[in-house]
Structure 1
């Protein structure tokens, strides 16, 4: 069995945090240390392909009413347009999640089974919304000051500050939501270099194995 500390017990971790805080960087550091990494965003794309028809059935009428093109010429959902349709509506987001989250959870379970002999990390913003969170040994919550996140997101995505702030607002109380899921959550602040972040992750892993 391939594990971070060489012991015959693998770790299952979730790496999460608000937008532009550095969770992707943290996941890459863990992957470099030997963890198998699954990106929930990529799995979400795969899941949407699986449930494409169900999502179209759910939202087609509303999209027509709002004059939003929900699908392309091949009948595949245009993700940006779907986001435009449901963003800002708690009810619509929940309706979408009821369709897609079971498939995302299935794909994560499948990934875990395929990598049963090694430590794994799930890089996900909202893993607390799916049952797999209960199988995680710990949650590494990567955070950084809002102003740093704002300019990182601006540089990375090129979006207007107003849109970025709306995305930030949609992730309000993310830490508390993980706490409410009874996850063993530990915060790491990403305020410096990648080397500094790696050192903090090493401390996180050491404490995790000592507990």
Structure 2
């Protein structure tokens, strides 16, 4: 579906989730919808804020594992080194689940505040299905897709991560669409080539 068609299809909705795998083009779709009056909140940025606000809990939970892996999860300026934290978490699902249990309550509250302050809301989130408290607000899911190699090139250019780490994240998101189908929400596909 093209973006112009998307605007018509979602015109009666109040809250949508824009999602898709890493580097599919979620931010681009959100930026185009914002031009027509939608207000987007990027849950990656909300997660960054939540990580900083939950810094002490995160340090207590992961400092030992990080040191064992030769990683420092604290930058010299005292903030969480999200890149190193990601290296630690994305290779161990149980550690990722532990981090989510720490930051998700904060993310939920920050997002609810954004919804309360705005109309025509876009929740830009890869794994919103993990927070039923937020998915229930959505009228529909806009699932952005792009070819594998296009996403790989975009992710490498944007994040400057090693290919191995990008591929690990791609693998972690392999069943993303299946998870969104379980929500029972209408899914609208946008192909972003």
TM-score (norm 2): 0.87
Hey, what's the Cα distance between the residues in 1 that align with 2:162 and 2:62? 27
Secondary structure of the residue that 1:135 maps to in structure 2? coil
2:122 equivalent in structure 1: 121
Pairwise mapping of residues 52-201 of structure 1 onto structure 2 (< 5 A)?
52-73=55-76, 75-115=78-118, 118-130=119-131, 131-191=133-193
Hey, what's the Cα distance between the residues in 1 that align with 2:158 and 2:51? 25
RMSD: 2.0
Hey, what's the Cα distance between the residues in 2 that align with 1:160 and 1:85? 14
Hey, what's the Cα distance between the residues in 1 that align with 2:161 and 2:175? 23
Hey, what's the Cα distance between the residues in 2 that align with 1:11 and 1:33? 13
**How far apart are 1:11 and its partner, in Å?**
1.1
The range that moved more, 66-75 or 39-48, is 66-75
Q: Once the two structures are superposed, what CA deviation does each residue of 1:45-97 show, in whole Å capped at 9, x if it has no partner?
A: 11111111111111122223333222234543211121122221110000000
2:28 equivalent in structure 1: 25
Q: Once the two structures are superposed, what CA deviation does each residue of 1:124-159 show, in whole Å capped at 9, x if it has no partner?
A: 111111120111000100002212222232333344
- The aligned length equals 184
CA contact (8 A) 2:41 2:123 kept: yes
Hey, what's the Cα distance between the residues in 2 that align with 1:62 and 1:150? 29
Q: Extract unaligned runs of 5+ from structure 2.
A: 1-6
Which structure is larger by alpha-carbon Rg, 1 or 2? 1
CA contact (8 A) 2:58 2:102 kept: yes
Secondary structure of the residue that 1:24 maps to in structure 2? helix
TM-score (norm 1): 0.80
Secondary structure of the residue that 1:186 maps to in structure 2? strand
Hey, what's the Cα distance between the residues in 2 that align with 1:101 and 1:165? 24
CA contact (8 A) 2:17 2:140 kept: yes
2:3 equivalent in structure 1: none
Q: Extract unaligned runs of 5+ from structure 1.
A: 192-211
Q: Once the two structures are superposed, what CA deviation does each residue of 1:104-142 show, in whole Å capped at 9, x if it has no partner?
A: 111100100111xx2110111111111201110001000
